[in-house]
Structure 1
Amino acid sequence: MDKSLLDDLEEKRRLGKAMGGPEKLQAHAAAGRLNARERLDVLLDPGSFVEISVLARSQLPELHARTPADGLVCGYGTINGRIVYVTSEDRTVQAGTRGRVAEKKTNRIRTLALKHGAPYITLMEAGAGRFQEISGAIAADVGYRFLEHFQMSGKVPQCAVFLGACFGGPSFTAMQSDFVSIVRDNGYIGMSGPPLVRVGLGREVTMEEIGGAVKSARETGQADYLADDERSALQSVRDFLSYFPSNADEAPPSAAPEPAPVDSEEGRERIAALVSENGRKPYKGDELVSLLVDGGKLFPYRASYGRSLFTGWGRINGEVVGFVASNPMVLGGALDDKAAIKARKFVDICDAFHIPLAFFIDCPGFMVGPEIENKRMVSLAARLLNTMAGCTVPKATIVIRKAIGLAYLALGGRPMDPDVIVGWPTSHFDPMGPLAGVELVHARAIANSDDPDALRAELIEKAKKDADCYRAAELALIDDIIHPAETRTVIADMITRTAATRKTGFKHRIDP
């Protein structure tokens, strides 16, 4: 082969990797941002990235020379030795807007991820499609990406990282993903940006008002992880995937077992002292769970959203477990709309990828009142119940204190068919709580009593005795009452006992 042909190939490859050129790259770096290729160096194992379609360019004559790789770096590499497919938007090329050729590249990466059973990761920094390439009647043939994300859902893990203002299409596909990380002060999520709001509504708004990182993580829950910088956001993807199989045909990856804090005498004392028999004295749900897991290490899911409930992943004797724990530090552990939305998505993800679940219940019920009804609380509670009823992974339910009404069911109560259900000595069961029950049933008798306060106290005391955990154990409605320090062993035994019947394979899609 003529050497000039090979030289020409190398030159075209070099130009394809040039991105937006030295001036734009320098400005990008001056803003404190990594470029599209540097991000892949952080995300992937060193030296593992293999690029696909580096020679791609826009086919519009006026853009051909100015669109190396058509503004999208994509290919495959490894994270902790396992293959992943990835796309990384290059904001230094045409502001990162998506051209038709870049969309073809993305389609190829998604197709290969699904075909090869590997996670798909998208690093996003720009808005929707490149207007000059999709305007007019050709718009009738755009949007296949949404179908592709749906086809991957529940089959391979999907991750999205918001590194810039990604209004429109990128926001939609990110919401179809299983894990969304966003960078504080840089990432933005929304239907459309300020210019379209100005045109459509005649209003002046900021990007922060539409969907800044803090708003997305705390108020809307559309971001699962709030990162302080780009490196932390990229690391969060590595951490998330460490708990997941590469695809639904595999089991979650095991790791070398580590001791948990509760394995020490000090840890046993800490967990026993953490929860008071006084149901009004709060504690942190994540602190309780951290005492039980290998190395005390947890990876939280939507830590800033629906904070009356902790959700996250950890390990028990090296095996991955998804944890759902009441957090009485917020709303006394009651479930509001945000907590219900978070729990439903979390359980859905764990079930799709065969991750056993452990529930820790200390919940006075779902929130009530006109304000919460305006948020469709009944429908949200019903969706969570449906998800729990359909969940087939092994489930351990540990009642810490309050197991009240519908919330008890939604957090893994007996009718949800847990593989083990136990209570701590502080636990109790009731359809609506002793105080509410007494008032509802005995209000007239109390009002007509010579000593209403004394009668009320007597009836409440009787209701509390009827709700006592030992009564539930005597009736064989729960499996046992355990010492708090035995909780880790109960979960570990559940994982061992269910191992022979656990199955892999595609189960269901995961709703946004």
Structure 2
Amino acid sequence: MDKRKIEELQSRRDAIRASTSAAAIDKLREQGKLTARERIALLLDDGSFVEMGVHAHSAHPSLRERTPADGIVTGHGTIDGRIVYVAADDATVLGGTRGRVGEIKIARVRDAALRHRKPFIALMEAGAARVQESFGAMAANMGARFADHFRMSGQIPQLAAILGPAFGGPSFTAAQSDFTALARGTGVMGMSGPLVVKVGTGETVTPDAIGGADLSETVTGQADYVGDTEADTLRSLRTFLSFLPSHSGELPPVVEAKPAAVDTEEGREKLRTLIPDIGRQAYDMKRVLSLIVDAGDLFHYRPRYGPNLITAFGRIDGQPVGFVASNPMARGGVMDEKTAQKARKFVDVCDAFHVPLVFICDAPGFLVGPDIEKHRMVSLAARLLNTVCAASVPKITFVARKAIGLAYLAMCGRAMRPDYLAAWPGAHFDVMGPEAGVELVFGREIAAAPDPAARKAEIMARLDEQSSAYEAAAQGWIDDVIDPAETRDAIRQALAAAADSRQPGFKHRIDP
């Protein structure tokens, strides 16, 4: 072949990859941002990226010279040696808007990810439709991405990072993903941006008011992780993926085991002393989990959304496990609309990708009252119960202290058919909180007693014994009463016993 053609090819490649001006890069740096290709390089293993569609540009004649790669960088590479497909918006090309050719490119990698059964990762900034290429009747053919994400759901892991303004379609990509990370200070997601809001409602709003880090992390829960920097945000994608298989047809990867704090007598004693004897006294469940899992292998999912419940990935002897644990440090560990939504999505993801679930229950019940009913608490609780009941991965439940009513069931109580159900010595089971139960059943008797306070204390003491872990074990409702320091060993043994019950394969879609 003529050498000049090869030289032209290389020249074209170099020109496209160097097309971002120094001024545009300086502007990104001022905002604490990286270029699209820098983000990909940081996300993937060194030197592993293979770009697809590098010669693409806009199909619109007036935009051809201004749209290198048509504003989106696509291809595949590896994370910890595992192949992934990735698409990254280039905000320096017409603000990162999506043109027709760009949509063809990203559809190509979505299709390849599903056919080859590899994870798909979207790095998004701006990325709304390029109006001059989709105005009018062209909109009748829009929306293929939404159907693609549905088809991928539950079959391959879908991950998204919001690294700049990402209104409209890109936000739906994030919502349909299994894990969404957002960069604080730059990442914003929502139905529409400030300009569209202004035109549609007359209201002047800031991007952060629509879907900035604080709102997405604590109010809507649409960001599963918020990173302080782009590097931190991208690193979270690698960490999340490390707990999942590349597709539903295989089991999660098992890594080299690391010792846990409770593998030492000092660690076991630390765990025991963390648990107060007084039921109303709070303690740090995050600390409890950190002592149980392989050292350093605890990754929190939506930590600031519904913090009264912890959802986190960890490892036991190198094997990925999903933890759903009450957090008495926040609102006493009561269940509410946020914890129900968070737990449902987390359980759904774990079950779809064969990650065993460990529940640690210390829940005084679901929040009650007129205000919580406005959030459709009954429906949200029912959805969570359905999801927990339907999960077919190994389910292991420990009752730390309180197992009250429907909250106990939501934390994989007996009726949800856990593979192993044990309680710590201070655990108690009841259909409702003891104070409310005593008032409801014995209220008149207590009021008529010569000494109501003494009579109430007598009844409470009797019911306390009747609701104890030992009584539940005596009646055959739980498998054992264990020392909290034996929890890691119990998980290990239960996982071994249930190992052959995990059959790789597609199970179900994952609801947003």
Short-chain TM bin: over 0.9
Secondary structure (helix, strand or coil) at the match of 2:279 reads coil
Mapping for residues 64-83 of structure 1, pairs under 5 Å: 64-83=64-83
Matched with 1:386 is: 386
**Relative to structure 1, is the Cα distance of residues 357 and 282 closer, same or farther in structure 2, using a 3 angstrom cutoff?**
same
2:349 is the counterpart of 1:349: yes
Mapping for residues 459-478 of structure 1, pairs under 5 Å: 459-478=459-478
1:27, 1:477 → 2: CA distance? 63
Moved over 3 A (4+): none
Secondary structure (helix, strand or coil) at the match of 1:408 reads helix
Matched with 2:224 is: 224
Mapping for residues 231-246 of structure 1, pairs under 5 Å: 231-246=231-246
Mapping for residues 363-402 of structure 1, pairs under 5 Å: 363-402=363-402
Matched with 1:418 is: 418
* 1:19–1:69 CA contact under 8 A, matched in 2: no
* 1:19–1:71 CA contact under 8 A, matched in 2: no
1:46, 1:20 → 2: CA distance? 22
Which letter maps to 2:213? A
Secondary structure (helix, strand or coil) at the match of 2:292 reads coil
Which letter maps to 1:143? G
Which letter maps to 2:295? G
1:228, 1:278 → 2: CA distance? 37
* 2:89–2:127 CA contact under 8 A, matched in 1: no
Mapping for residues 265-414 of structure 1, pairs under 5 Å: 265-414=265-414
Which letter maps to 2:153? S
* 2:31–2:186 CA contact under 8 A, matched in 1: no
Matched with 2:110 is: 110
2:40, 2:196 → 1: CA distance? 32
1:369, 1:503 → 2: CA distance? 42
Which letter maps to 2:354? H
Secondary structure (helix, strand or coil) at the match of 2:11 reads helix
Matched with 1:26 is: 26
Secondary structure (helix, strand or coil) at the match of 1:166 reads strand
CA offset digits 1:328-361 (Å, max 9, x no partner): 0011000111111000000000000000000000
Mapping for residues 190-269 of structure 1, pairs under 5 Å: 190-269=190-269
Matched with 2:185 is: 185
Secondary structure (helix, strand or coil) at the match of 2:498 reads helix
1:2, 1:19 → 2: CA distance? 26
* 2:365–2:404 CA contact under 8 A, matched in 1: yes
2:30, 2:466 → 1: CA distance? 67
2:260, 2:25 → 1: CA distance? 46
1:103, 1:15 → 2: CA distance? 22
* 1:261–1:296 CA contact under 8 A, matched in 2: no
Deviation at 1:503, TM superposition (A): 0.4
Q: TM-score, normalised by structure 1?
A: 0.99
Which letter maps to 2:413? G
CA offset digits 1:304-330 (Å, max 9, x no partner): 111001111111011110001110001
Mapping for residues 472-511 of structure 1, pairs under 5 Å: 472-511=472-511
2:464, 2:38 → 1: CA distance? 61
1:300, 1:311 → 2: CA distance? 6
2:369, 2:144 → 1: CA distance? 42
CA offset digits 1:151-199 (Å, max 9, x no partner): 0000000100010010111001110000000011100011111111111
Which letter maps to 1:217? E
The CA RMSD over aligned residues, in Å, is 0.9
Identity of aligned residues (%): 55
1:480, 1:22 → 2: CA distance? 66
Mapping for residues 124-135 of structure 1, pairs under 5 Å: 124-135=124-135
1:465, 1:479 → 2: CA distance? 18
Q: TM-score, normalised by structure 2?
A: 0.99
* 1:36–1:73 CA contact under 8 A, matched in 2: yes
2:296, 2:104 → 1: CA distance? 44
* 1:308–1:335 CA contact under 8 A, matched in 2: yes
1:105, 1:51 → 2: CA distance? 11
**Relative to structure 1, is the Cα distance of residues 497 and 206 closer, same or farther in structure 2, using a 3 angstrom cutoff?**
same
2:282, 2:29 → 1: CA distance? 46
* 1:13–1:54 CA contact under 8 A, matched in 2: yes
* 1:19–1:92 CA contact under 8 A, matched in 2: no
CA offset digits 1:360-401 (Å, max 9, x no partner): 000000000111111110010000000011000001100000
